Amino acid sequence: MGWVLALFCWCSGAWLTPSRHLTVAGATGSLAYLRRAAADFEKTYPPNTVALSGGGSIAGLVEVSLGRVDIGISDVAPQRQWTRGVDLSSLALGRIPLLIIAHPGVGVSSLSTATIRALYSGQVTSWAQVGGRPDPVVVMTRPLSSGARQVLQAKLLGDRPMSPDAVVVLSNGAMLAAVQETPGAIGFVESGIVPSRVALMAVGVTQFHSQDGATWPYAVTPTAYWKKSSSVWVRLLAEFLATRPYRRAFGLYPRAS
């Protein structure tokens, strides 16, 4: 009957020491970097383990405010309805360029802001209308909670609502794959390098090159949030995540000063 006892012990949860098991939850856009940095942190400060969990930006803010996780990663600015007025410290991990991409077959390589608006609001339904091949436009977007979608909406679409016909893909990687594979697709990805097998769109006259990650005007800023009252290890981890030199390899550029 040992396992019954063990079950009761689990339920009590008393002998867990949460300070040594740090949990990071939230936006998944920088997950690849976080996986690397978390492993690095464990190596540098041996008794700690770091668990990463997804859930999205808003979940990161809610969870950290409720004290369920130690650090929340969010691409969107905290709102009172999520944090309930809990005092949070924050540190940006860097900025990830947000790139407008399309299927390589569309025959267009630059789009003005107005054209992007027309495409995303569903007014333009064929690439021929904007000088490309006669493929029907397939608009791809991400869930409402995505920081990338919010940046796109705020900086490029303005008050124009997104086409209700848009296909919703759950994540950054899935977006890239979907645009690569779907003729006529237009989408957006967070990426520090020029993505392969898609047509990268110049916005207006500005063309993105892999060396101007720090200055590209559209960017997502994943930021670590933690409670002011949390342990010293939590702050240490946040600072660790925000300062790794290999961030650039994952598309995270230091903020332009």
Partner 1 sequence: MRRGWRAHSIALVLALLGMGVFLAIVASLIQEGLPAISWRFLTGWSTSESIGPELLNTLVMVGMTLIVTIPLGLMTAIYQEEYHYNPAKKRVATLSRVRATLLSAPTIVVALVVYRIAVGWWHWPVSVLTGVLTLSVINWPFLATLSAQALRGVPDSYRQASLALGASRLQTTRGVVLPAALGFLVEGWGLAFARLAGESAALIVTAGVNVSRHWSLFGPGETLAVHIWYIRTEGVSLNRGAEAAATGVVLMALIAVVVWAFGRLSRLLGGAQPPSQEVR
Partner 2 sequence: MKGGWNDERMPRYVTRGATLLFGLMALSLMAVLVVGAWPLLREPRPLTNLMSPLWSPLTHRFGLVPFVAGTIAVTVMALGLAIPVGLGTAITLARLMPQTLQPAGVKLLTVLTAVPSVIFGWWGLLVVVPWIRGQVGGPGFSLLAAGVVLSLMLMPTFSLLYYQALRAVPSRYQEASDALGASPDQTLIGVVLPCAFPALVQGLFVGVARALGETMAVQMVIGGQTLMPKGLAAPGATLTTQILTDVTVFPQGTRGHAVLDLMALLLMVAMYLLVRAAERWGTRS
Chain contacts with partner 1 (rule: CB under 8 A): 3, 7, 10-11, 13, 16, 18, 20-21, 23, 25, 28, 31-32, 34-36, 38-39, 42-43, 46-47, 49-55, 66-69, 170-174, 177, 196, 250
Angle at CA 177, nearest 5°, toward 127 and 247? 115
In angstroms, give the least distance from the CB of 222 to partner 2: 14
Tokens of 89: 């410290």
Residue 30 vs 115, nearer CB to partner 1 = 30
Cα angle, residue 252 at apex, residues 77 and 245 outer, rounded to 5°: 125
Laid out side by side, the sheet with 49-55 consists of 49-55, 21-26, 71-74, 223-227, 88-92
Is 96 in contact with 252 (CB distance < 8 Å)?
yes
Burial group, residue 6, by CB count within 10 angstroms (0-12, 13-18, 19+): exposed
- CB-wise, 88 or 242, nearer to partner 2? 88
Q: Which of positions 50-89 make contact with partner 2 (CB under 8 A)?
A: 55-59, 62-63, 65-66, 81-82
Find the binding residues for partner 2 in span 162-201 (CB under 8 A).
164-170, 174, 177-178, 181-183, 185
Pick 27 or 118: Cβ nearer partner 1: 27
The distance of closest approach from Cβ of residue 49 to partner 1 in the complex, given in angstroms and rounded to an integer, is 4
Strands 138-141 and 167-168: parallel
Beta-carbon neighbour count of residue 198 at 10 Å?
A: 24
Least gap, CB of 175 to partner 1 (angstroms): 9
Give least dist CB 5 to partner 1, A.
12
Residue ranges in 143-162 that form contacts with partner 2 under rule CB under 8 A: 143-146
Residue 134 or 217: the one with the smaller Cβ distance to partner 2 is: 134
Q: Which C-beta is closer to partner 1: that of 25 or that of 102?
A: 25
Give 166 or 224: the residue with its C-beta nearer to partner 2.
166
Task: Tell the smallest beta-carbon distance from residue 193 to partner 1 (Å).
Answer: 9
Minimal distance in Å, beta carbon 171 to partner 1? Answer: 4
What token pair was written down for 14?
């008393």
Of the two residues 60 and 94, which places its CB atom closer to partner 2 in the complex?
60
Is residue 71 within 8 Å of 165, Cβ to Cβ? no
Q: Is 108 in the site for partner 2 (CB under 8 A)?
A: no
Query: Which residues here bind partner 2, judged by CB under 8 A?
Result: 55-59, 62-63, 65-66, 81-82, 136, 138, 143-146, 164-170, 174, 177-178, 181-183, 185
